[in-house]
C-alpha cells in the first residue's frame, strides 16, 4: 500500500534504522519534500531507498560535522564521490532545494549533484569542510539563486546551537 504524503520530516531520530527508514520512504511515491536530518544514518541507507526518488523537490540531510567522524576510524580516506552525493545526483533530477549542513560531501560529489540536478535553486552546504570552493566551483554554483557556502554563518539555521557546539573547521579547511 502506498500513501499520498508529500512531505516527511524525521529529525533527531537516532533509534531509527537505515532499513526501517528506507522502507517507510519507499511507501511514499508522491513524496516531494524529505528531511532526515540528525538521524544517525549509517551504512547503506542510500542503497536501500528506491532509486525512483525523481519527484523529490526538496531534500535535507543535515549532520553535526563532529558526528560524521564517529562513522569512520582513523584509516578513513576521502572518497572520490560520497554515496549520499551519488544517490542525490543519480535519483533526484527535479531537486530544487538541497540542504546538507555538516555533510562530508566532497568536491566530486557536489559537482555530480550540480551536473545532474539542473533545477537546483537553493543549496546550503554550510559546515561542509571537505569542500574546497575554488573559482571552478564558484562558476559552477553561479546559477544557484540561494547559495550558502561552508564557512557562512549558521545563525539563521534553527538548530544552529546544536551543529555549532564544536568547531572543526580549522582542521578541515584545507589551510
Summarised one tens digit per residue, pLDDT across range 94-137 is: 999 999 998 889 999 999 999 999 999 999 999 898 899 999 99
- Helix or strand or coil: residue 172? coil
The reply to whether 84 falls in a domain is yes
pLDDT(40) > 90 = no
pLDDT in tens, 134-153: 999 999 999 999 999 999 98
Residue 164 to residues 18, 65, 156: CA-CA distances in angstroms? 25, 9, 12
| CATH code for the domain of 83 | 3.80.10.10
Q: Give the number of domains in the chain.
A: 1
The C-alpha angle 35, 58, 134, rounded to 5 degrees, equals 100
The reply to whether 90 falls in a domain is yes
The reply to whether 169 falls in a domain is no
Which range marks the domain in which residue 123 is found? 9-163
Main-chain dihedrals φ then ψ at residue 26, nearest 5 degrees: -65, -20
Residue 131 to residues 62, 111, 125: CA-CA distances in angstroms? 15, 11, 9
Residue 7: closest CA among 60, 64, 52, 47: 60
Q: What is the pTM of this model?
A: 0.80
pLDDT recorded at residue 48: 65
Amino acid at each position: 500500500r502506498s500513501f499520498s504524503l508529500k512531505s516527511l520530516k524525521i529529525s533527531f531520530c537516532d533509534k531509527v534504522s537505515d532499513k526501517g527508514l528506507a522502507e517507510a520512504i519507499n511507501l511514499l511515491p508522491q513524496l516531494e519534500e524529505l528531511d532526515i536530518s540528525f538521524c544517525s544514518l549509517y551504512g547503506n541507507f542510500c542503497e536501500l531507498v528506491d532509486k525512483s526518488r525523481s519527484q523529490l523537490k526538496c531534500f535535507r540531510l543535515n549532520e553535526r560535522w563532529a558526528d560524521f567522524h564517529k562513522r569512520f576510524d582513523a584509516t578513513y580516506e576521502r572518497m572520490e564521490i560520497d554515496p549520499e552525493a551519488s544517490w542525490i545526483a543519480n535519483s533526484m533530477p527535479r531537486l530544487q532545494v538541497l540542504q546538507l549542513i555538516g555533510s562530508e560531501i566532497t568536491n566530486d560529489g557536489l559537482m555530480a549533484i550540480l551536473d545532474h540536478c539542473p533545477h537546483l535553486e537553493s543549496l546550503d552546504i554550510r559546515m561542509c569542510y571537505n569542500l574546497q570552493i575554488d573559482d571552478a566551483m564558484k562558476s559552477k554554483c553561479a546559477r544557484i539563486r540561494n547559495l550558502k557556502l561552508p564557512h557562512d554563518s549558521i545563525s539563521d539555521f534553527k538548530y544552529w546551537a546544536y551543529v555549532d557546539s564544536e568547531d572543526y573547521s580549522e582542521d578541515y579547511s584545507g589551510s
